[in-house]
Structure 1
Amino acid sequence: MDDGDVLGRVKALVDEEHTLRGHHEPDTARLAQVEAELDRCWDLLRQRRAKEEFGRNPDEAAARSTREVENYRQ
């Protein structure tokens, strides 16, 4: 998966998030899943870009678990 693939996935998830939020009573469970998957995609993209910036192979980046990504300290 390259950066374009990850960004395509992000776009699809953002579109779905907007659709869900547009409903009078959004499916909160699905919305939470979409938000978590977005966090994972952004994390993967940041990993890929960091590896490339420091001369490493961005394809070595790996998606982390939702639990790991959601528990990062900001």
Structure 2
Amino acid sequence: MDQRQILERITAMVDDERRLRDALADGRGDDGGAEERARLAALERELDQCWDLLRQRRAKTEWGQDPEEARVRPSSQVEGYQS
């Protein structure tokens, strides 16, 4: 996955995240919003991973390394990183 594809994926996920947050705020969720909250939590973890992958690729490029060597790290590793 190249940088453009990662950014496109991030954009799509951010759009989904907004829709889910809006649905929860408006009370449009099924089952008290449990399904939407679970989907939102999964999206947040995946977004953390995508941003981390993008940062890895950019750092490798900046330091003359092959950005294709960057790998998706487990969400437990990337959650809570500060920008």
Q: Same fold (TM over 0.5)?
A: yes
Stretches of structure 1 that go unaligned for 5 or more consecutive residues are none
Match of 1:56 in 2: 65
Q: Which has the larger radius of gyration?
A: 2
1:19 corresponds in structure 2 to: 19
Q: CA deviation at 1:70?
A: 1.4
Distance 1:63 1:7 in 2: 14
Percent of aligned positions that are identical: 53
Q: Find the counterpart in structure 2 of residue 41 from structure 1.
A: 50
Residues 44-68 of structure 1: CA distance to partner in whole angstroms, max 9, x if unpaired?
0000000000000001000001111
Please give the alpha-carbon distance, in whole angstroms, between the structure 2 residues aligned to 1:41 and 1:11.
11
Counterpart residue number, 2:9: 9
Residue in structure 2 matched with residue 30 of structure 1 by the alignment: 39
Structure 2 residues not aligned, in runs of 5+: 28-32
Runs (4+) of structure 1 exceeding 3 A deviation are none
Normalised to the residue count of structure 2, the TM-score between the two structures is 0.82
SS of 1:42's equivalent in the other structure is helix
Distance 1:19 1:34 in 2: 12
TM-score relative to the length of structure 1: 0.91
Task: Give me the CA root mean square deviation.
Answer: 1.2
